[in-house]
Amino acid sequence: MSTYKIPGMIDPHVHLRGLDWSHKGTFASETAAALAGGYWAVLDMPNTHPSTIDRPALDRKLAEMGAQAVSDWGIYFGAAASENWRFYDDIIGDVCGLKIYNNATTGTLLIDDQSVRDQHYRAWPGNKNIAVHAEGETVLEILALVRKYRKHTHFCHISTADEIRYLTDAKNEGLPISIGVCPHHLYLTQDDLATLGPLGLMKPELKTKADLQALWDALESGVVDVVESDHAPHTLDEKFSGKPTYGVPGLETTLPLLCLAVHEGRLTMERVVDLVANNPRRIFGLACPPETYTLVDTAESFTIERGNLHTLCGWSPFEGMQVYGKVRSVTIRGEQVYDGEKILISNGFGQNLYG
Ligand code: DOR
Ligand code: ZN
């Protein structure tokens, strides 16, 4: 039997775009990509245009997402250098968590002053997650805040052996943290930049073979909690411009790349289900709605091609790779929403999981 049933898959780290960046992707097109990738739900990052850092920007995103999304969804609020922690009590009921950018990336949300990070950690109310972009020794600076405030922190897109070591020690210390890794850091290294060119540029950047191996070891040992796509569409024109943008799409390739790992004997299917469904649901405080699941044919292999993608950007850094795991069907709250080819419901079907 090669059809596998996965309950409520959720990607807690995506950049759907929309708003003033709808030429890169819309909430309709990128949540369609989510369904095609097998996902029930996605959590959208705040480095949009405009950034999700105040009430008007959040309201605009809530309205546009509500009108367009075909998968279920949540929205992160973004920490800003402008003391926007003053708004936290007002917005906490509408968002899935807080994102703090501690190293440079797409958008304008970098916070590199530890005392400003401290203010945001102190002000964040309740127990929804703080998700952080932290690379290298910045991981240690964030761990100091987790130690001080004991607020659950999800470390996004961890990409090096050093970072895995810091975070393994932190888990052993009992700090309330979780770890996400991305498929591009599991399957690509800096050696691939020669062939990928700008299509291999993202933050954190591609690393060495030794780093890649450390991520696989941490996946297999159970130290890593989540595989997240960091789905970040940019147009081909932008990628091949004089100033290439950082980011790669990933919603439609994550599950097949993990099924490839199962096929190669590197992971079990049970572990894959933990990484893309059970663990992210638990970490982000979500129960699987009744009758919400994905059917994937784990034996069927196919080649990743841009012509088969739903993402508006229309390319993938994995084009040409032979993978396993064809998504046959996605059902949300009893309704079949994707049949392996087409989206079967209208824009706006998706619900805010934190509304
Ligand atoms: O490569 C990236 N692209 N990394 C990020 O952290 C942000 C993302 C984007 O928004 O394009
Ligand atoms: Zn990201």
What spacing in Å lies between the alpha carbon of 133 and ligand 1's midpoint?
A: 10
Q: Is residue 266 part of a domain?
A: no
Whether a cis peptide bond, with omega within 30° of 0, leads into 204 is: yes
Q: Is residue 216 part of a domain?
A: yes
Token pair 């049970």 is at which residue? 270
Q: What is the pLDDT of residue 1?
A: 55
Share of the chain above pLDDT 70, in %: 100
pLDDT in tens, 186-237: 999 999 999 999 999 999 999 999 999 999 999 999 999 999 999 999 999 9
Ligand 1 atom closest to residue 47's alpha carbon, by position in its atom list: 10
* Cα gap 344→130, rounded to integer Å: 34
What spacing in Å lies between the alpha carbon of 107 and ligand 1's midpoint?
A: 8
Going by C-beta distance under 8 Å and a sequence separation of 6 or more, which residues neighbour residue 294?
5, 6, 9, 38, 39, 40, 255, 327, 329, 330, 331
pLDDT in tens, 294-314: 999 999 999 999 999 999 999
Q: Is residue 179 part of a domain?
A: yes
Q: What is the pLDDT of residue 154?
A: 98
Q: Is residue 115 part of a domain?
A: yes
Q: What is the pLDDT of residue 355?
A: 84
Q: Give the residue whose CA is nearest to atom 8 of ligand 1.
A: 247
**Any ligand 1 atom below 6 A from CB of 47:** yes
pLDDT in tens, 264-292: 999 999 999 999 999 999 999 999 999 99
For the entire predicted model, the pTM comes to 0.98
Q: Is residue 20 part of a domain?
A: yes
The number of domains in the chain is 1
What spacing in Å lies between the alpha carbon of 110 and ligand 2's midpoint?
A: 13
Ligand 1 atom closest to residue 107's alpha carbon, by position in its atom list: 10
Q: Give the residue whose CA is nearest to atom 3 of ligand 1.
A: 247
Q: Is residue 6 part of a domain?
A: no
List the domain range (segments joined by +) for residue 112. 11-250
Q: What is the pLDDT of residue 126?
A: 86
**Any ligand 1 atom below 6 A from CB of 246:** yes
Q: Is residue 219 part of a domain?
A: yes
Q: Is residue 265 part of a domain?
A: no
What spacing in Å lies between the alpha carbon of 10 and ligand 1's midpoint?
A: 19
Share of the chain above pLDDT 90, in %: 97
What spacing in Å lies between the alpha carbon of 3 and ligand 2's midpoint?
A: 31
**Any ligand 1 atom below 6 A from CB of 310:** no
Give the CATH number for residue 112. 3.20.20.140
Which listed ligand is nearest to 104 at the C-alpha? 1
Q: How much is the average pLDDT of 120-149?
A: 97
